[in-house]
Protein backbone atom coordinates (compact mmCIF):
# COMPACT_ATOMS: atom_id res chain seq x y z
CA UNK A 1 0.00 0.00 0.00
CA UNK A 2 1.61 3.25 -1.17
CA UNK A 3 -0.75 5.45 0.80
CA UNK A 4 -1.37 5.78 4.51
CA UNK A 5 -3.59 7.24 7.15
CA UNK A 6 -3.64 8.39 10.74
CA UNK A 7 -5.46 6.74 13.61
CA UNK A 8 -6.94 8.31 16.74
CA UNK A 9 -8.85 6.10 19.16
CA UNK A 10 -10.55 7.11 22.41
CA UNK A 11 -11.74 4.42 24.81
CA UNK A 12 -14.04 5.45 27.63
CA UNK A 13 -14.25 2.98 30.50
CA UNK A 14 -15.62 3.68 33.96
CA UNK A 15 -13.78 6.77 35.18
CA UNK A 16 -10.88 6.63 32.74
CA UNK A 17 -10.30 7.85 29.20
CA UNK A 18 -7.55 6.16 27.18
CA UNK A 19 -6.41 7.74 23.91
CA UNK A 20 -4.08 6.18 21.34
CA UNK A 21 -2.82 7.98 18.26
CA UNK A 22 -0.60 7.44 15.25
CA UNK A 23 -0.01 10.41 12.96
CA UNK A 24 -1.35 13.93 13.13
CA UNK A 25 -5.02 13.51 14.00
CA UNK A 26 -5.56 15.05 17.42
CA UNK A 27 -7.78 14.79 20.47
CA UNK A 28 -8.55 17.73 22.77
CA UNK A 29 -10.72 17.73 25.88
CA UNK A 30 -12.59 20.71 27.33
CA UNK A 31 -12.87 20.67 31.12
CA UNK A 32 -15.68 22.26 33.15
CA UNK A 33 -13.80 25.59 33.18
CA UNK A 34 -13.39 25.71 29.40
CA UNK A 35 -9.69 24.79 29.38
CA UNK A 36 -8.32 22.91 26.35
CA UNK A 37 -6.46 19.79 27.47
CA UNK A 38 -4.47 17.88 24.81
CA UNK A 39 -5.36 14.19 24.67
CA UNK A 40 -2.69 13.36 22.08
CA UNK A 41 0.42 14.75 20.45
CA UNK A 42 0.93 15.02 16.70
CA UNK A 43 3.67 12.89 15.21
CA UNK A 44 5.49 15.48 13.12
CA UNK A 45 9.03 15.10 11.76
CA UNK A 46 10.19 18.45 13.21
CA UNK A 47 9.67 17.23 16.80
CA UNK A 48 13.00 16.43 18.47
CA UNK A 49 12.04 12.89 19.55
CA UNK A 50 10.75 12.00 16.08
CA UNK A 51 13.67 13.67 14.29
CA UNK A 52 16.20 11.68 16.37
CA UNK A 53 14.35 8.42 15.69
CA UNK A 54 14.21 9.10 11.94
CA UNK A 55 17.91 9.99 11.74
CA UNK A 56 18.86 6.92 13.81
CA UNK A 57 16.99 4.78 11.25
CA UNK A 58 19.07 6.36 8.47
CA UNK A 59 16.37 8.72 7.24
CA UNK A 60 16.23 12.47 6.83
CA UNK A 61 13.75 15.31 7.10
CA UNK A 62 13.55 18.29 4.78
CA UNK A 63 11.45 21.42 4.50
CA UNK A 64 9.31 22.05 1.43
CA UNK A 65 6.43 24.17 2.71
CA UNK A 66 6.32 21.82 5.72
CA UNK A 67 8.77 19.41 7.34
CA UNK A 68 8.67 16.01 5.63
CA UNK A 69 10.19 12.58 6.18
CA UNK A 70 12.42 11.65 3.22
CA UNK A 71 11.05 14.80 1.56
CA UNK A 72 7.69 13.03 1.16
CA UNK A 73 5.48 12.58 4.23
CA UNK A 74 4.41 15.41 6.57
CA UNK A 75 4.00 13.07 9.56
CA UNK A 76 6.46 10.71 11.16
CA UNK A 77 4.07 7.92 12.13
CA UNK A 78 1.19 6.42 10.16
CA UNK A 79 -0.68 3.30 9.16
CA UNK A 80 0.33 2.25 5.67
CA UNK A 81 2.90 4.31 3.73
CA UNK A 82 4.86 1.10 3.18
CA UNK A 83 7.66 2.52 1.02
CA UNK A 84 8.72 4.55 4.07
CA UNK A 85 7.97 1.70 6.49
CA UNK A 86 10.38 -0.53 4.60
CA UNK A 87 13.08 2.04 5.38
CA UNK A 88 11.90 2.06 9.02
CA UNK A 89 11.74 5.88 9.06
CA UNK A 90 7.95 5.98 9.44
CA UNK A 91 6.49 3.69 12.08
CA UNK A 92 3.00 2.74 13.24
CA UNK A 93 3.74 2.66 16.99
CA UNK A 94 1.02 4.61 18.82
CA UNK A 95 1.38 6.96 21.76
CA UNK A 96 -1.09 5.92 24.44
CA UNK A 97 -2.24 8.27 27.18
CA UNK A 98 -4.72 7.71 30.03
CA UNK A 99 -6.73 10.34 31.87
CA UNK A 100 -8.67 10.28 35.15
CA UNK A 101 -12.08 11.76 34.31
CA UNK A 102 -12.87 12.54 37.95
CA UNK A 103 -9.86 14.87 38.06
CA UNK A 104 -10.44 16.43 34.64
CA UNK A 105 -14.21 16.95 34.98
CA UNK A 106 -14.75 16.92 31.20
CA UNK A 107 -17.46 18.78 29.33
CA UNK A 108 -16.65 17.40 25.87
CA UNK A 109 -13.82 16.19 23.65
CA UNK A 110 -12.95 16.88 20.04
CA UNK A 111 -11.38 14.15 17.91
CA UNK A 112 -10.30 15.48 14.53
CA UNK A 113 -8.01 15.06 11.55
CA UNK A 114 -5.20 17.51 10.86
CA UNK A 115 -7.41 19.45 8.46
CA UNK A 116 -9.09 21.03 11.49
CA UNK A 117 -5.86 21.62 13.40
CA UNK A 118 -4.25 23.32 10.40
CA UNK A 119 -6.77 26.16 10.83
CA UNK A 120 -7.74 26.04 14.54
CA UNK A 121 -5.63 26.00 17.69
CA UNK A 122 -6.77 23.70 20.50
CA UNK A 123 -8.12 26.69 22.41
CA UNK A 124 -9.96 28.16 19.41
CA UNK A 125 -11.62 24.82 18.65
CA UNK A 126 -12.74 24.39 22.26
CA UNK A 127 -14.22 27.91 22.35
CA UNK A 128 -15.97 27.37 19.01
CA UNK A 129 -17.55 24.05 20.06
CA UNK A 130 -18.39 25.24 23.58
CA UNK A 131 -20.58 27.98 22.08
CA UNK A 132 -22.48 25.28 20.15
CA UNK A 133 -22.46 22.50 22.74
CA UNK A 134 -26.25 22.18 22.98
CA UNK A 135 -26.03 20.31 19.65
CA UNK A 136 -22.62 18.59 19.36
CA UNK A 137 -23.44 17.23 15.88
CA UNK A 138 -24.19 20.78 14.68
CA UNK A 139 -21.00 22.02 16.37
CA UNK A 140 -18.91 19.41 14.55
CA UNK A 141 -20.46 20.30 11.18
CA UNK A 142 -20.04 24.03 11.87
CA UNK A 143 -16.36 23.78 12.77
CA UNK A 144 -15.69 21.69 9.63
CA UNK A 145 -17.29 24.40 7.49
CA UNK A 146 -15.42 27.15 9.34
CA UNK A 147 -12.11 25.32 8.80
CA UNK A 148 -12.94 25.03 5.10
CA UNK A 149 -13.80 28.76 4.92
CA UNK A 150 -10.46 29.54 6.58
CA UNK A 151 -8.78 27.94 3.59
CA UNK A 152 -7.98 24.41 4.69
CA UNK A 153 -6.95 22.50 1.53
CA UNK A 154 -6.94 19.12 3.32
CA UNK A 155 -9.76 16.77 4.25
CA UNK A 156 -11.47 17.65 7.54
CA UNK A 157 -13.02 15.07 9.85
CA UNK A 158 -14.39 16.06 13.27
CA UNK A 159 -16.21 14.22 16.05
CA UNK A 160 -17.48 15.94 19.19
CA UNK A 161 -18.27 13.77 22.21
CA UNK A 162 -20.28 15.43 24.97
CA UNK A 163 -19.81 14.03 28.48
CA UNK A 164 -22.61 13.64 31.00
CA UNK A 165 -22.09 15.10 34.49
CA UNK A 166 -19.46 13.41 36.65
CA UNK A 167 -17.25 10.56 35.49
CA UNK A 168 -19.15 8.17 37.76
CA UNK A 169 -22.27 8.96 35.66
CA UNK A 170 -20.66 8.36 32.23
pLDDT for residue 166:
52
pLDDT for residue 137:
80
> In terms of pLDDT, which residue wins out, 14 or 145?
145
| Three-class SS of 73-126 | ECCCECEECHHHHHCCCCECCCEEEEEEHHHHCEEEEEEECHHHHCCCCHHHHH
User: How far is 11 from 36, CA to CA, in rounded Å?
Assistant: 19
Q: How confident is the model at residue 2 (pLDDT cuts 50, 70, 90)?
A: confident
Write the CB contacts of 67 (distance below 8 Å, at least 6 apart in sequence): 44, 45, 46, 61, 74
- Report domain extents, the chain: 8-42+98-169
Write the CB contacts of 11 (distance below 8 Å, at least 6 apart in sequence): 17, 18, 19, 20
pLDDT for residue 86:
85
User: What is the DSSP secondary structure assignment for residue 130, as one 8-state letter?
Assistant: H
The phi and psi torsions of 140 (rounded to 5 degrees) equal -65, -45
Classified as helix, coil or strand, 63 is strand
Share of the chain above pLDDT 70, in %: 96
User: How far is 6 from 17, CA to CA, in rounded Å?
Assistant: 20
**pTM of the shown model:** 0.91
* The pLDDT of residue 168 is above 90: no
Q: What is the CATH number of domain 8-42+98-169?
A: 3.60.40.10
Which of 33-37, 80-84, 97-101, 142-146 is predicted least confidently?
80-84
pLDDT for residue 167:
47
Task: Encode pLDDT of 51-110 as tens digits.
Answer: 999 999 999 999 988 999 999 999 999 999 988 988 899 999 999 999 999 999 999 999
User: How far is 73 from 95, CA to CA, in rounded Å?
Assistant: 19
Amino acid sequence: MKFGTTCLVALLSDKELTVANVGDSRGVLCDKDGNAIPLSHDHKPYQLKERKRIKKAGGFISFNGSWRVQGILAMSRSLGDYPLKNLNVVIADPDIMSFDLNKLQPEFMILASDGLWDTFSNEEAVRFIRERLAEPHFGAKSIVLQSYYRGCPDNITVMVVKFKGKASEQ
